Structures are given as C-alpha cells and as structure tokens.
Amino acid sequence: MADTVETATELSTKYDTPMGLAHGTMTALKERIKTHYDLASDYYLSLWGEHIHHGYWPTEDSKKTETKEQAQLNLINLLLSISSPASATTPILPQGLKVLDVGCGLGGTSRHLASLGASVTGITISSKQVEMATRLTQTHSSSLSPAVPDAEGYLPFGPGRVRFLELDAEKMCDADGPLGPDAPGSFDFVWISEALSHVPGKEAFFRNAHGLLREGGRLVIADWFKGAGVAEGDADIKAIEDGMLLPPLHTQQGYVDLATKAGFAILAEPKDISKDVAKTWDISWSLVQNPALWSFALTQGRDGIAFLQAFRAMRRGYANGTFRYGVMAFVKGSAA
C-alpha cells in the first residue's frame, strides 16, 4: 500500500520529460519500465536478438567485418577481461562460479556465462522476460530431452546452469525475496550490463551488490552515461532519458563515487568505449525503419514514439560527446 501513496521524491523534482509526462515517483517510473519490457521484448528478440545490449567493435577492421552478434560477444569478453586477474592472458570465468546477472533481459548473456561453466541467476523486473529467457534456454539446451530444473530452479546449460527470476534490483537483499535469506555473501560476480541506468535507487543497488558478493567478489558494469561537464537540461540527454525511461543519467565518475561509498575497491578504472560501440545505433536506426515497429510504437502512445525518437538523440550524442558508454569493474575488499 505504501507505494500507492508514495510522496514526491528527489527524482520527481529533477526529472520532467520533454513531452510533458513527469515521473512523479520512483514507483511510477519502474512500472513504466516493466510495462515497456513486457510489451516490447518480442520486438527486441526479432530485431536485435537474444543479447539486447550494445556491440563492441574495438578496431577499424572489426567495424567493417564483424556482425552485431560477434560484436555483442566482444562486449561480454571485454567485461570478462577487465574483471579477470591481472595475470590472466585471456578473459576467464572459472567453472562453478556463482554469477548474478542483473537486468538479464532475454538471458543471452546469462546463457553465454553458463556455457563457460558458471552457475548463473538472471534477474529482471519484467515477468515477460523471465518467461522468454526460460523458454529460450530450454530451446537451446544441448540435451536431447527437455531441460528439467533442479531443486534450486536452475536449468542445465552446457557445463553450467542458469535460472531466471523476476526481481527488482533495489530489493536483491530482501530476506524474503526469491534469492532467499542465504543470498548475502554467496555470489562471486554481480554482472550488470545496460540496466543500472534504469535503476532510480542506484545507491541501494551498489549497497545490495556489495552485500550479495563474497569477499573478493567482483562487480562488473557496462552502461550509458552523460558526458562529464554536460549542461543540465541538454536536449539530447533529456530526449534519451525520456525515450529510454531513464532517471537522470550519471557520469562515469558518478558510478565510481557510489561504488566506493558502498565499500568497493576499484578493480578496473572506467574505460570509455563510446566510439567502439556507436555503430550499434547506426544498425539500430536501420532496423527500426520496419513499419510494423512504428505501428506498435503508435499503439503505446507517447512512450512508444519517444522511445524511437531517442534513437536519433543517441546517435547525435555519441557524435558530439554528450552521450557516453563505459565499462568498469570493482571488487569487494582489496584490489591488490
């Protein structure tokens, strides 16, 4: 009941969408995010695939020759690399590690990490995404017979296993939540790719991530940011926040400050890879010329149209430096 009478928050005073609809409370924003992904995930799958995150083309040659699917795996490998021990010559994820994939979407990254031997729990605020991620996992299972969940709800996937749960990232440590009372201190990795920008309570996320990790556990992040020094109310940033259902974007340093406040040590300083992921939005803009997608957007009213309009703003933002993309990693305990 408390949510239905939530009073105005700092978010509501800082954020007013250009098309006139304000996010009056964090709860209102979360409900719009959940509705968006419940309705749009089938379109994400058909247009962008199972990995609904940016591609990473680190060289000029890769920009010419590599598909978006390979580029998406490149991004996963980059995150593995920055969170691997300094002595590792290739990205590693030792078998049997417990990974929490926050904002798992359709489960593409969760399944990839399970294929490397990890025990992965993917969480999302969207019940539709839980259903789709579970179904896709069963479809792709290497077993000839249908995959059967084990006692903890995990499906076998290659040498690892994976499960998907509906869970708010701000409530990951709730003792009566789906992760259970034994979750604190039980994970080796918390992985969050392009989902933290959706979370209004980022301080709560970092605090919960710290609590869920064992000593020496890693937090690895890929996300969207506004450029350092970008003026308040920048038109492109406001259009991106509006269309992508984001609370006010942080800078990369803003995440570092929140992580260290929560008790993390820096494992890998923020790495700005904006120029290496920007091709994502060139590809996306060509894909969204599909008339069926615009028809769907029109049925969703201003949120649907603002979402597609944000694509132009993101391309402009990458070009003029107001919109940035970065990766970083932290460790619970000493980084030494």
pLDDT in tens, 211-228: 999 999 999 999 999 999
pLDDT for position 33: 84
pLDDT in tens, 293-321: 677 777 776 777 787 778 888 999 999 99
Among all chains, which residue has been given the structure tokens 């309009």? Answer: 309
Give the residue-averaged pLDDT of 97-121. Answer: 96
Find, among 77, 42, 39, 45, the residue nearest to 58 by Cα: 77
Assess whether pLDDT exceeds 50 at residue 141: yes
Three-state secondary structure string covering the chain: CHHHHCCCCHHHHHCECCCCCECCCHHHHHHHHHHHHHHHHHHHHHHHCCCCCCCCCCCHHHHHHCCHHHHHHHHHHHHHHHCCCCCCCCCCCCCCCEEEEECCCCCHHHHHHHHCCCEEEEEECCHHHHHHHHHHHHHHCCCCCCCCCCCCCCEEECCEEEEEEECCHHHCCCCCCCCCCCCCCCEEEEEEECCHHHCCCHHHHHHHHHHHEEEEEEEEEEEEEECCCCCCCCHHHHHHHHHCCCCCCCCHHHHHHHHHHCCEEEEEEEEECHHHHCHHHHHHHHHCCCHHHHHHHHHCCHHHHHHHHHHHHHHHHHHHCCEEEEEEEEEECCCC
- Sheet containing strand 187-193, edge to edge, reads 155-157, 160-166, 119-124, 98-102, 187-193, 213-226, 323-332, 264-272
Whole-structure pTM value: 0.88
Q: What domains can be seen in the chain, in order of their start residue?
A: 2-332 (3.40.50.150)
CB count within 10 Å of CB 30 equals 22
pLDDT above 70: percentage of residues in the chain: 85
Give the residue-averaged pLDDT of 25-38. Answer: 79
Both tokens of residue 204?
Answer: 């709560």
Both tokens of residue 190?
Answer: 């918390």
Distance between CA 150 and CA 155 in Å, rounded?
7
Least confident of 35-39, 172-176, 289-293: 289-293
